[in-house]
A and B are shown apart, each in its own frame.
Chain A
């Protein structure tokens, strides 16, 4: 084993250019394999962490996945609102322990603005049991107070006391802004690794206040009510986007869901976050499998590249094999030489692939966090990922068998003298 080990190493070093290229091809495929796997599992974990402790999410009737996406992940927009009276009626049900109303539709410099109540800070849970905490300041008290998610504050450099202007609509650039009624930052939340970090929170009254003198998405001409007069007005909202529900007992979940879905005064939809998440995964399952299959094919292509490299040199290596035979190498040594070369190449590919993978994670993760509010930690390789790496090296051994057998057969035919 040892002499062959050294031979294999030195042989590869002598062909470093083609070897490096082959290793690189395998490394790229390995990093792709790890990347797809990591993003897939981490996104799932991150999504699952985002909504905890909420038994039902209730919104206007649409699909359960869209409702989950726009309420929890701030992806997409609601098609319809639900009336305040419906919300109050359900919230008053004796089975309901707490509710968090939310109102979406405005933004601040690309970050979504969410109107809610104080219940948001006391009842919302993430990562199973964790509660929202304040880094600075406190919840909103005044109509024009705003609480910022950790990323909003750090990206835009806001601190408590700063004034911010809310834009109407949720585009990257607001079409119109509520600049006559600026908000004051009353608090900044601690980082959660969920979309909360990307959100500007204001009271429902605040949302109502900035829209008092608006109709159909634009300011009413000539009507301009100043902030102080608004404080005196009745700022009870007429509608909200959706609300989260915590029940007294989990056993009543399905009963409550059925009752909400049969609500006669307006079409409502109640979803169980876990079930909707599961539905989302089954939707994405096909795309995920397709991605995994593609990745496996990319790895296979890398392996084929390695087989090609090994086979293409066999002809010019016939003399080398004959010399090795003449000094006493057995066919087993010839076989082992080729297998070891394949193992080295695939193992180096795997190692370099891991390096590329981590380098890419460093670059990509902040982008994912900024774009989707999903915080993915750079963790050590999981058991699954180690299994993938092991499989790549195992595939390398299997791939090496073909050139190894060819080399042995040629060597046996040639003996010690290569006849031209």
Chain B
């Protein structure tokens, strides 16, 4: 089966004088897989996400995401690759405070023609498409007209963030502790939505969390400290 992520012989450090923070011999994710990566603080989680997103490149090793050798690409092409192929959801404060809910969801389309055309293929009107997606995530946008996104509850903000990550159907969804600021019920509801949407679109999901209890329902669980030979014990 095709690999969505294929890493081998990766080493990364922030600066030449600093120690290596990520050292992965081999790590791969198959296309369409729902992978749970358990990563406590200091396990190199942030670095791994920056590498997968093409924001950082490794000192050595092969970094292949969705058949693209990010380590060989220019910074510019990595940026447009990220815009076109990866949707991100972060822990909190995911939204641009001065944009409306819809504008936040449409943000990736502003930077990626591919996501714009894919979103347009589904319907026609981008805003209507975004509204539909938000409704599937349980958010009636009509209820929030004129409200600042910063006025939304954290749970609502995370759903807007998830909608943005999913919008325009990127092949890979990377979620970094998206539920840590949610309560128990909201946490499971959020996960269910994420599963439902990614399965429907055949998207690969990489879910990173320090909380192993959330791993139920994922196809596979990977412990980052196990694969990162440079991992430190806990807090750096």
Residues on A facing B (Cβ under 8 Å)? 2-3, 6-7, 10-11, 13-15, 319-320, 323-331, 333, 415-417, 419
Closest beta carbon of chain B to A141's beta carbon, Å = 77
Residues of chain A within 8 A (CB-CB) of B108 are 327-328
Contact A11:B46 (CB < 8 A) given known A328-B80, A415-B55, A416-B53:
no
Of the stretches B86-94, B123-131, B132-140, B198-206, the one at the interface is: B86-94
Interface secondary structure of A, over-half rule: helix
Can you name 20 A-B residue pairings with CB atoms under 8 Å? A6-B110, A7-B96, A13-B98, A319-B93, A320-B97, A323-B95, A324-B96, A326-B82, A327-B108, A327-B111, A328-B83, A328-B111, A329-B79, A329-B111, A330-B79, A331-B75, A415-B46, A415-B55, A416-B49, A417-B49
Query: How many Å lie between the Cα of A218 and that of B95 in the bound state?
Result: 86
Contacts of B55 in A (CB 8 A): 325, 415-416
CB <8 Å contact, B111 and A3: yes
Select from chain A the residue with minimum beta-carbon distance to B84. A328
- Cβ-based interface call for B164 (8 A): yes
Q: Which chain A residue shows the least CB distance to B108?
A: A327
CB-CB nearest 9 A-B residue pairs: A328-B83, A14-B98, A3-B110, A328-B111, A415-B55, A330-B79, A327-B108, A326-B88, A415-B50
A328 CB contact (under 8 Å) in B50, B82, B95: B82
Asked whether any CB of chain A lies closer than 8 Å to the CB of B154, the reply is no
Number of interface residues of B (CB under 8 A): 30
* Nearest CB of B to A408, in Å: 12
B84/A417 in contact, CB under 8 A: no
B191 within 8 A of A: no
Are A327 and B107 in touch, CB under 8 angstroms?
Answer: yes
Given contact pairs A10-B99, A13-B98, A326-B53, A416 touches B88 in the complex (Cβ within 8 A): yes
Bound CA–CA A272/B75 (angstroms): 72
Q: Is B46 in contact with A417, judged by CB distance below 8 angstroms?
A: yes
What residues of B have a CB within 8 angstroms of the CB of A330 in the complex?
75-76, 79-80
Q: Does B56 contact A (CB under 8 A)?
A: yes
Is B232's CB within 8 Å of the partner chain A?
no
Distance of A292 Cα from B70 Cα, bound (Å): 55
B112 at the interface (CB under 8 A from A): yes
Interface string of B99-111 (1 = CB under 8 A from A): 1000100011011
A320-B96, A326-B88 are known; give 14 further A-B pairs, CB within 8 A. A6-B110, A7-B96, A10-B99, A14-B98, A326-B53, A327-B83, A327-B108, A328-B79, A328-B83, A329-B79, A331-B75, A416-B49, A417-B176, A419-B46
B115 nearest in chain A by CB position: A328
Bound together, the chains give a CA A416 to CA B82 distance in angstroms of 11
List residues of chain B with CB within 8 A of the CB of A327.
82-83, 88, 107-108, 110-111, 164
Task: Report yes or no: A10 in contact with B98, Cβ–Cβ below 8 A.
Answer: yes
What's the nearest-Cβ distance from chain A to residue B167, in Å?
Answer: 10
- Min Cβ gap B192→A in Å is 24
- The residues of A that contact B46 with a CB separation of less than 8 Å are 415, 417, 419
Assembled-state Cα–Cα distance A6/B100 (Å): 12
B111 touches A333 (CB 8 A): yes
A319, A329, A415: the one contacting B56 at CB < 8 Å is A415
Q: In the complex, what's the smallest C-beta–C-beta distance from B106 to chain A, in angstroms?
A: 10
Most chain B beta-carbon neighbours within 10 Å: one of A11, A14, A328: A328
Interchain nearest-CB distance for A5 vs B (Å): 10
Query: Closest residue of chain B to A318, judged by CB?
Result: B93
A11 to B99 CA separation, bound complex (whole angstroms): 8
The answer on a CB contact under 8 Å between A11 and B79 is no
Bound-complex Cα distance A6 to B94 (A): 19
Of A320, A326, A331, most buried by chain B (CB within 10 Å of CB) is A326
User: Which residues in A have their C-beta under 8 angstroms from that of B94?
Assistant: 323
From A326, A331, A333, B90 is in contact (CB under 8 Å) with: A326
**B173 CB to closest chain A CB, in angstroms?**
12
Residue of A nearest to B112 (CB): A328
Identify the closest chain B residue to A411 (Cβ): B55
In the bound assembly, the distance between CA atoms of A234 and B128 in angstroms comes to 100
Closest to B111 in A: A328
User: How far apart sit A15 and B148, CA to CA, in the bound complex (Å)?
Assistant: 13
Say yes or no: A417 contacts B50, CB within 8 Å: yes
Contacts of A13 in B (CB 8 A): 98
In the complex, what residues of B have CB within 8 A of residue A333's CB? 111
